[in-house]
Chain A
Amino acid sequence: MRQDITIEKTACYHCGDSCITHEYVVEEKSFCCHGCKIVFEILSASKMDNYYSYNDHPGATRARTDKRFEYLNSPEISSELIDYTDSQVTIVTFFIPHIHCSSCLWLLEQLNKMNPAVHYCRVDFLKKQLNIRFDHQQLSLRQIVEILYDIGYEPLISLQDVIKKQNRTTKDNLVQKIAVAGFCFGNVMLLSFPEYFGISAYEATFKHFFGWLNVLFSLPVVFYSGRGYFVAAWQNLKKKLFGIDFPLALGIAVLFIRTAVEVATQAGAGFADTLCGLVFFLLVGKFVQQKTYHHISFDRDYRSFFPVAVYVIIDDITKAIPLAQLQTGNRMLIRHNEIIPADAILLNGEALIDFSFVTGESVPVKKTLGEVVYAGGRQTGGAIELEVIKPVYQSYLTQLWNNEAFTRQNDNGKQTFNERVSKYFTIVLLAIAFGSLLFWLPTDLRRGFAAFTAVLIVACPCALALSTPFTMSAALSIFDRNFFYLKNVAVVEQMAAIDTIVFDKTGTITTGNTNEIKMEAVLSAKEQQLIYSACINSTHPISRMICQYLGNQNRLSIARYSEVPNLGILATIAGHRVRVGSYKLVLGYKEIDAKASRAYLMIDNEALGFFEFSHRYREGMENLTVLHPTYKTFLLSGDQDHEREQLGHFFKETPDMHFNQSPQQKLDFVQALQRQGRRVIMMGDGLNDAGALKQSDLGIAITDDVNNFSPGSDAIMDGRSFSKLPAFLRFSKDTVKIVHFSFFISLTYNIIGLSYAVTGMLSPLTAAVLMPLSTATIISFTSLATHFAAKRRALI
């Protein structure tokens, strides 16, 4: 029954999508849609077509061209977005997800060629941000956004301005602290060299001078660079916790005091070199740990999914108001492709609502007048009017965020290895220090104090404090290379402790919107042309897929055309009556057994067959069975269960698959697993999984484009690397083993150092050699071991 069609496809000159019509051709360049053609025309009119010479198909597809930015005229909204304004200029920063190549950079920095009122624009490529300085007397914020939109770079404007928040938090001066510590470390090392090689009695005055200079250099290291450790140790002590900060702060303090005392009493050279080196290495470790992804946000909630403003109709006048001001009883106007931000009653218009992001169900739902429409759906028909019945934060969808999972502290009960170990470490350390003090005290007071301080200096857990950050950040960059982005280094350890994995279906184990299309019909070239000509008029996703499948055809003129919402198309083309759509529309009676969605075809009362659409599973689904003995897997789906059989291959037992789950049920299911003592990974993609993602021990959001909206989670995975999930899990276990092993290495160094220290005869030189040596060993061991582990798991 199957038949292959020779498909000739041309890629759109602007965005690279395949063209399904010959309609849009300018200067021998084909475009997939009107929007792409317009962008090209605007750019070539302003002599900017160099844009296309740097890269092939640099643009974003412009199939949807119905955005409206009137709301930016409202001062209360625009003032939220602007960074700075005075009587002359305004500065604004936009987040533009489409920035991805040198053409983007080139074009966006030429904005002043298109409009002279733009004084200055600068792109930050990694953060995908555009900073614009413009004259607001000649150009409004809305016009700027419209220009950007016209050239295909729509800024992402959302209520929850993640970018500004991120910029604010990264403004700590760790780099400056490292610079100061490094500067002092270098100078102190230089001044300590004469001491290492021995100073003759004749040069004793220098020794004094060097000593005092060293103390001077230690001052900024302790009180500026090392201040954070004292603060952290004090806060932990108040909470009665012995974190790793406590022995570190103690070490720094003892080093400084002993150095100052030795220099002042001329008893010795002190440990200024060890002190500066310690603080410097610790800060570098801290810096390595702070890896941030500027272009990815892990903390998104429903607010970044919802629009910034809503259009409400008050006394027959349409007005844009900020979402926060939307009240019960307001009559709002939702246009094509806009999201309904609050539960509301449909008052006017044809509502055909796509709830795919909320429920996972991909087929749009038709609503009748007077029916309640829940928030989160996207209108796919014409404009509709609705009356708000519940405030935004109380809607069916957003209620999920009132659950306790979102208010509780995220990190309780998830102690890292470091935290668990450092508690015992501190106790043992203090015991040894006081033990050696008491041992020497009766015989030699001086030696007693020397031993006491030496123990605290030598056992200062520098290498221990560095092993986790260096291993985990190396692991993070391995994951990052495989398109798996973790929120922070602690997530790797949580991943190693997992024993249960829960999957969402739609969008998680099936790919986002692309369905598999199969033609079960034999069509002549003429019939193909007829069906193509009927479907090309419709914007319904199924019609578009049929057109894509049939490829480039000549379009025939249509005598009569009507589209029945949710059912299909009726058309008369070149004297033939064409019907494409559901069984009921085409064949007249209801389908008995529908396993998958189909579009039936009929030309002149002759049934020709159908197109079948089924979800396509992500590549590497078969890899999931590898997980089975070690991990228990579950499936939670918001969908109907018509794929139960196919999924049976991947999930061992039927009770492991749950269908028709509401967002709240998903959250409860994860919670129930946790009550059984399981450590759960939740993998999901939509707002409907947001609760379960938050509740789980490790929430992984799966997405096909990391810049798109993904709900709040601990990690974001690109759909392409889904098949590597078992490797990721094994690798996370390897890294934890590496951390454990490096802990033993650092313990060995500590024991060697301690054997000197307890005698009270620790020379500054030994301390100065031991500390950097242990640090270097740990850093090189962890980076090499991580590299080999990644290679073994085929991740690099």
Chain B
Amino acid sequence: MNIIYFLIGCSVLLALIFLAAFFWAQRSGQNDDLYTPSMRILLDDEPESPEEK
């Protein structure tokens, strides 16, 4: 059953990595604007080929 020490170590480490990733995302401003990207995706990239709605 000593494998439990190892398993818990792994799971905590993994969780810590996710926590660190969240901190990084928060610091780099990825969560500052959660609304505009959802509109941006609806717009066409090439204004050369105008598309009617």
Contacts and interface: CB of A to CB of B under 8 A. Distances in A.
B35 A53 contact: no
A109 B41 CA distance: 13
Contacts of A126: 33, 35-36
Contacts of B5: 209
Nearest to B48: A47
Interface in A72-107: 102, 105-106
Interface string B18-53: 010011001000011101100110111001101111
A105 B43 contact: yes
A693 to B, nearest CB: 31
B25 to A, nearest CB: 10
Contacts of A516: none
A332 B44 CA distance: 48
B8 A213 contact: yes
B37 to A, nearest CB: 9
Interface in A34-62: 47-50, 53-54
Interface residues of B, number: 27
B10 interface: no
A382 interface: no
Given A110-B47, A209-B5, A176 B40 contact: no
A176 B26 contact: yes
A179 B23 contact: yes
A53 B50 CA distance: 8
Contacts of B40: 105, 109
B47 A183 contact: no
Interface string A168-183: 0000000110011001
A49 B32 CA distance: 30
B51 A53 contact: yes
B50 A49 contact: yes
A123 B33 CA distance: 9
Given A54-B43, A179-B22, A203-B1, A123 B36 contact: yes
A172 to B, nearest CB: 12
Nearest to A109: B40
A203 B11 CA distance: 20
Nearest to B4: A206
A47 B48 CA distance: 8
A186 interface: yes
Contacts of B31: 175
A711 B53 CA distance: 40
A71 interface: no
A796 B51 CA distance: 37
Nearest to B34: A126
A566 to B, nearest CB: 48
A747 B23 CA distance: 37
Nearest to B5: A209
Contacts of B35: 125-126
Contacts of B15: 183, 186-187
A206 B2 CA distance: 9
Contacts of A124: 32-33, 36
Interface in A118-171: 122-127
Contacts of A106: 43
A224 to B, nearest CB: 12
A102 B43 contact: yes
B26 to A, nearest CB: 6
Nearest to A182: B19
Nearest to B1: A203
Nearest to A210: B8
A572 B16 CA distance: 84
Given A54-B53, A105-B40, A124-B36, A47 B12 contact: no
Given A53-B53, A126-B35, A183 B19 contact: yes
A113 B48 CA distance: 12
Contacts of A186: 15
Contact of A125 (B1, B4, B36): B36
A122 B32 CA distance: 12
Nearest to B44: A50
Contacts of B12: 187, 213
A124 B11 CA distance: 38
Contacts of B48: 47
Given A125-B35, A209-B5, 13 more contacts: A50-B47, A53-B50, A53-B51, A102-B42, A102-B43, A105-B40, A113-B47, A126-B36, A175-B31, A179-B22, A179-B26, A183-B19, A186-B15
28 contacts: A47-B47, A47-B48, A50-B44, A50-B50, A54-B43, A102-B39, A102-B42, A105-B43, A109-B40, A113-B47, A124-B32, A125-B36, A126-B33, A126-B36, A176-B23, A176-B26, A179-B19, A179-B23, A180-B19, A183-B15, A186-B15, A187-B12, A187-B15, A190-B11, A206-B1, A209-B5, A213-B8, A213-B12
